[in-house]
């Protein structure tokens, strides 16, 4: 089982979600995060004083899938939907998951996905 | 037919004007709530409620008679209406001071200073300008100063008290870095700032219009209408100048400066709106707005931290507004105006300084660095203003 974490630009969330649903991924968790990579912040102005916003708002999507095949499908869906071609599009991280439990029924691992 | 028609109409007008002025209570409250950080919003609002209650009651029980000599000093309108109209101004003086030291003041010590203003400092100034005048006949008599609605009596008085407070209490923690650079602390709620500023603007129609004193003759009615019109015009000019100047200086529009510019214009016209023709307030308000855009960053350079711009809006423009009557109205001498400004400053600033210094020493008016980091809401109120919103990092 694989976990896929994707950091994307916030306005791309709808597009990515639809792409994942079309690809057959049934559930996901999102959180609002801040970060920066090569896309440095930008500066704003308040009452005559300038300040730099270093951390840029992003959205993190987390999904857990049952196999490497599904993982590849998800990664491709996310890549295509989240891309704008400009700096700051984000990154995707893949890791292994040891076990999964569905709380309502107690099902484990593959049955829970 | 009505018996005593003037008495009734003028009483009604005084009460109506008073109600408009009370719009300034939520006006100041919303303006300040929007300009501070979320972690201080509840305490700022608590302070605003406290000020209205404590200042008004101090004035009713002690200050009013001290200012005017007695409750029966005039017979044109109901004495209760006259009192209410005067009382409406008192809290505003304290609001000017408290806004400028937001995010680093503790509530109970601030209440003590509120009592001092409502019962003593403000009535002293009213006494020597609009009231019983214990300086009559002396060389310090300034009752001849032209100040219809209080550019000096209200706005500068609050401004001098604020100046004393800022000097004693210093800036917010983290506001100025060691290098001298300004650490920006942005407003938490721009819609509230805007709402507050416009409520203040509406209140000004009562503030200035009501200060004419009567409406029940053709002359008075014209004076009231002219006063309100000139008041409004100055606000418009201040807003436009604030808008254009910030754009030319920074290539961006800063709504907080536009609104402060409008308020500056409104303060600047407040000394003589009944005496100007309908065009002069454009110039007066424009200069008022320009002064605000100039002084807000200047005070930051001097490390005088003022989250709401009250020093620029009320002290600087209170002085400019008082001088403006001397400049633009033939019958009024600039020297008389200057003398009035100086005497009021010489009374309010030192007395406020001493009282605030003592209150700070004995009761700790200034919230400590750790308290400021937690937020005054947490340390003094135990209550968040926006509990469902995640605190930003």
Q: Do the beta carbons of residue A15 and residue A8 sit within 8 Å?
A: no
Cα–Cα dist B378/B332, whole Å: 51
Rounded average pLDDT over A16-29: 93
Cα–Cα dist B19/B309, whole Å: 26
Q: Is pLDDT of A39 > 80?
A: no
Q: Cβ separation of A48 and B393 shorter than 8 Å?
A: no
Q: Which of B320, B258, B44, B373 is nearest to A48 (CA)?
A: B258
The whole-number pLDDT of residue B372 equals: 95
The whole-number pLDDT of residue A112 equals: 83
Q: Do the beta carbons of residue B82 and residue B10 sit within 8 Å?
A: no
Looking at the complex, does the CB of residue B306 fall below 8 Å from at least one CB of chain A? no
Radius of gyration of chain A (CA): 17
Residue B170 lies in a domain: yes
Rounded average pLDDT over A10-29: 94
Cα-to-chain-centroid distance, residue B31: 12
Q: Cβ separation of A49 and B184 shorter than 8 Å?
A: yes
Q: Cβ separation of A47 and B249 shorter than 8 Å?
A: no
Q: Is pLDDT of B251 > 60?
A: yes
- Taking CA–CA distances from B182, the nearest residue in chain A reads A49
Q: Is pLDDT of B392 > 60?
A: no
CB neighbours of B157 closer than 8 A, spacing ≥ 6?
Answer: B93, B121, B122, B125, B150, B318, B344, B348
Q: Do the beta carbons of residue A111 and residue A16 sit within 8 Å?
A: no
Residue B146 lies in a domain: yes
Looking at the complex, does the CB of residue B186 fall below 8 Å from at least one CB of chain A? yes
Q: Cβ separation of A51 and B309 shorter than 8 Å?
A: no
Rounded average pLDDT over B346-374: 96
pLDDT digits (tens, 9 = 90+) for B276-300: 999 999 999 999 999 999 999 999 9
Share of chain B above pLDDT 70, in %: 99
Q: Is pLDDT of B390 > 70?
A: no
Q: In this complex, which of A34, A45, A51 lies closest to B252 when CB atoms are compared? A: A45
pLDDT digits (tens, 9 = 90+) for A56-103: 899 999 999 999 999 999 999 999 999 999 888 999 999 999 999 999
Domain spans in chain A, listed from the N-terminal domain onward: 2-112
Cα-to-chain-centroid distance, residue B147: 14
Rounded average pLDDT over B380-388: 90
Burial class (CB in 10 A: 0-12, 13-18, 19+), B318: buried
The whole-number pLDDT of residue B164 equals: 98
A to B CB pairs, distance under 8 Å: 36
Q: What is the ipTM of this complex?
A: 0.75
Q: In this complex, which of B186, B249, B393 lies closest to A46 when CB atoms are compared? A: B186
The whole-number pLDDT of residue B180 equals: 79
User: Mind spelling out the 3-state secondary structure of chain A?
Assistant: CEEEEEEECHHHHHHHHHHHHHCCCCCCEEEEEEECCCCCCEEEEECCEEEEECCEEEEEEEEEECCHHHHHHHHHHHHHHHCCCCCCCEEEEEEECCCCECCCCCCEHHHHC
Residue B386 lies in a domain: no
Rounded average pLDDT over B159-172: 97
Least confident of A19-28, B82-91, B287-296, B340-349: A19-28
Chain A residues touching B176 at Cβ < 8 A: none
Q: In this complex, which of B184, B249, B390 lies closest to A46 when CB atoms are compared? A: B184
Cα–Cα dist A92/B321, whole Å: 61
Q: Cβ separation of A47 and B297 shorter than 8 Å?
A: yes
Q: Cβ separation of B296 and A48 shorter than 8 Å?
A: yes
The whole-number pLDDT of residue A5 equals: 97
Query: Which of helix, strand or coil describes residue B345?
Result: helix
Return the structure tokens found at B94: 């304290």
Chain B residues touching A34 at Cβ < 8 A: 393
Closest-CA distance of chain B to residue A111, Å: 35
- A48, A51, A52, A53: best mutation site toward chain B, by most B Cβ within 10 Å? A48
Task: Report which of residues B162 and A112 the model is more confident about.
Answer: B162
Query: How many CB atoms are located within 10 Å of the residue A32 CB?
Result: 11
A106 to each of A9, A100, A112, B61, how far by Cα in Å?
A: 35, 10, 8, 71
Task: Report which of residues B286 and B389 the model is more confident about.
Answer: B286
- CATH for the stretch A2-112: 3.30.70.120
Find the DSSP H helices in B101-217. Answer: 107-116, 122-129, 157-169, 190-209
Q: Cβ separation of B257 and A45 shorter than 8 Å?
A: no
Q: Do the beta carbons of residue B340 and residue B145 sit within 8 Å?
A: yes
Chain A residues touching B254 at Cβ < 8 A: 45-48
Query: How much is the pTM?
Result: 0.91
B105 bridge partner residues: B366
The whole-number pLDDT of residue B263 equals: 98
Q: In this complex, which of A47, A50, A51 lies closest to B256 when CB atoms are compared? A: A47
Cα–Cα dist B245/B225, whole Å: 30
Half-sphere exposure of B180 (CA within 13 A, CB side): 5
> Angle at CA B343, nearest 5°, toward B337 and B345?
100
Cα–Cα dist B332/B339, whole Å: 12
Residue B153: pLDDT band (50, 70, 90) is: very high
- Taking CA–CA distances from B181, the nearest residue in chain A reads A49
B92 to each of A92, B27, B175, B321, B354, how far by Cα in Å?
A: 56, 10, 26, 17, 21
The whole-number pLDDT of residue B391 equals: 62
Cα–Cα dist B227/B221, whole Å: 10
Q: Cβ separation of B187 and A49 shorter than 8 Å?
A: no
Phi and psi of A2, rounded to 5°?
-125, 140
pLDDT digits (tens, 9 = 90+) for B79-122: 999 999 999 999 999 999 999 999 999 999 999 999 999 999 99
Residue B387 lies in a domain: no
Residue B391 lies in a domain: no
Chain A residues touching B249 at Cβ < 8 A: 48
CATH code for the domain of B282? 1.10.3430.10
Query: How many CB atoms are located within 10 Å of the residue B69 CB?
Result: 14
Chain A residues touching B256 at Cβ < 8 A: 46-47
The whole-number pLDDT of residue B393 equals: 46
Burial class (CB in 10 A: 0-12, 13-18, 19+), B295: buried
Burial class (CB in 10 A: 0-12, 13-18, 19+), B78: middle
Residue B322: pLDDT band (50, 70, 90) is: very high
Handedness of CA B146, B150, B151, B154 (dihedral sign): positive
Residue B388 lies in a domain: no
Residue B389 lies in a domain: no
What's the total number of domains in chain B? 1
Rounded average pLDDT over B6-35: 97
CB neighbours of B342 closer than 8 A, spacing ≥ 6?
Answer: none
């Amino acid at each position: 089982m694989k976990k896929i974490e994707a950091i994307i630009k916030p306005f791309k969330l709808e597009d990515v979600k639809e792409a994942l649903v079309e690809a057959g991924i049934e559930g996901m968790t999102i959180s609002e995060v801040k970060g920066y990579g090569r896309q440095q912040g930008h500066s704003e102005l308040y009452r005559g004083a300038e300040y730099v916003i270093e951390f840029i708002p992003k959205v993190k999507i987390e999904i857990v899938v049952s196999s490497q095949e599904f993982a590849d499908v998800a990664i491709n869906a996310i890549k295509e939907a989240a891309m704008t071609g400009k700096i700051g599009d984000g990154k995707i991280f893949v890791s292994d998951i040891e076990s999964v439990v569905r709380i309502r029924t107690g099902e484990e691992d593959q049955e829970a996905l | 037919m009505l018996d005593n028609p003037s008495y009734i109409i003028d009483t009604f007008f005084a009460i109506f004007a008073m109600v408009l002025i009370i719009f300034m209570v939520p006006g100041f409250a919303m303006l300040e709530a929007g300009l501070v950080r979320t972690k201080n919003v509840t305490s700022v609002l608590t302070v605003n409620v406290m000020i209205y209650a404590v200042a008004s009651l101090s004035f009713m029980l002690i200050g009013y008679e001290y200012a005017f000599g007695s409750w029966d000093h005039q017979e044109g309108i109901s004495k209760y209406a006259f009192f209410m109209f005067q009382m409406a101004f008192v809290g505003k003086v304290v609001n000017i001071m408290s806004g400028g030291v937001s995010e680093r003041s503790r509530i109970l010590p601030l209440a003590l200073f509120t009592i001092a203003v409502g019962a003593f400092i403000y009535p002293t100034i009213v006494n020597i300008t609009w009231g019983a005048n214990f300086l009559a006949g002396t060389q310090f008599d300034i009752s001849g100063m032209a100040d219809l609605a209080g550019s000096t009596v209200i706005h500068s008085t609050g401004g001098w008290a604020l100046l004393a407070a800022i000097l004693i209490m210093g800036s917010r923690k983290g506001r100025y870095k060691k290098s001298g650079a300004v650490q920006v602390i942005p407003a938490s709620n721009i819609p509230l700032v805007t709402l507050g500023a416009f409520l203040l603007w509406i209140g000004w129609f009562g503030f200035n219009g009501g200060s004419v004193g009567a409406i029940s003759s053709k002359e008075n009615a014209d004076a009231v209408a002219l006063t309100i019109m000139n008041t409004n015009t100055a606000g418009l000019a201040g807003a436009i100048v604030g808008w254009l100047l910030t754009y030319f200086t920074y290539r961006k529009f800063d709504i907080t400066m536009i609104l402060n510019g409008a308020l500056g214009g409104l303060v600047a016209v407040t000394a003589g709106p009944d005496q100007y023709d309908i065009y002069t307030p454009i110039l007066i308000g424009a200069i008022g707005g320009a002064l605000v855009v100039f002084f807000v960053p200047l005070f930051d350079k001097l490390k005088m931290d003022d989250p709401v711009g009250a020093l620029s809006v009320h002290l600087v423009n209170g002085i400019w507004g008082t001088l403006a009557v001397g400049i633009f109205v033939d019958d009024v001498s600039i020297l008389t105006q200057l003398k009035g400004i100086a005497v009021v400053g010489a009374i309010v600033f030192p007395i406020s300084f001493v009282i605030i210094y003592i209150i700070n020493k004995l009761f700790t008016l200034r919230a400590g660095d750790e308290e400021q980091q937690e937020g005054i809401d947490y340390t003094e109120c135990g209550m968040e203003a926006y509990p469902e919103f995640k605190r930003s990092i």
